[in-house]
């Protein structure tokens, strides 16, 4: 898998904010990893590695199996968390592309309350 980031011309849509962006998949992954016994810092690092790549490159069978093994979750649960994350991301993109002030305000309230 190629290294993705701001210096990679093949992946020019990479958003560096994804490295720290709070997403449903990142929260799910962190929770599952800490429940599985990983220390908080290691869980945060692993979630930081997999969560941005999940949105940018998708989630292949190998990464699904790795995450399932690390978290003790089933591959189906990993895929479900991934799909839920992509659904939220699609909604965020729609709001950015065609913001209606009332909907945007409600969405900003939702984002504020999830932290």
Q: What is the mean pLDDT of residues 46-73?
A: 87
Nearest CA to 42 among 53, 52, 29?
Answer: 29
Confidence (pTM)? 0.68
- Name the pLDDT band for 10 (thresholds 50, 70, 90): low
> How many whole angstroms separate alpha carbon 41 and alpha carbon 62?
24
Q: What is the mean pLDDT of residues 68-96?
A: 88
* Residue 114 CB coordination number (10 Å): 11
Tell me what pLDDT residue 17 has: 64
Q: What gap in Å lies between CA 103 and CA 93, rounded to an integer?
A: 13
| DSSP 8-state symbol, 25 | H
CB atoms within 10 A of CB 86: 17
* Overall average pLDDT of the 58-83 stretch: 93
Contact 74, 91 (CB under 8 A): no
Average pLDDT, integer, range 52-74? 88
Query: Looking at per-residue confidence, does 108 or 74 come out higher?
Result: 74
Q: How confident is the model at residue 89 (pLDDT cuts 50, 70, 90)?
A: confident
Please tell me what DSSP assigns to residue 16. G
């Amino acid at each position: 898998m190629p290294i993705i980031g701001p210096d990679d011309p093949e992946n020019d849509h990479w958003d560096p904010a994804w490295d720290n962006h709070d997403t449903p998949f990142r929260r799910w992954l962190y929770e599952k990893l800490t429940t599985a016994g990983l220390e908080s810092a290691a869980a945060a690092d692993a979630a930081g590695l997999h969560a941005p790549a999940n949105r940018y490159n998708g989630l292949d069978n190998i990464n699904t199996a790795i995450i399932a093994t690390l978290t003790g979750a089933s591959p189906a649960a990993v895929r479900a968390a991934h799909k839920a994350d992509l659904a939220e991301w699609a909604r965020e993109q729609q709001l950015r592309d065609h913001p209606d002030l009332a909907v945007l305000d409600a969405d900003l309230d939702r984002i504020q309350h999830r932290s």
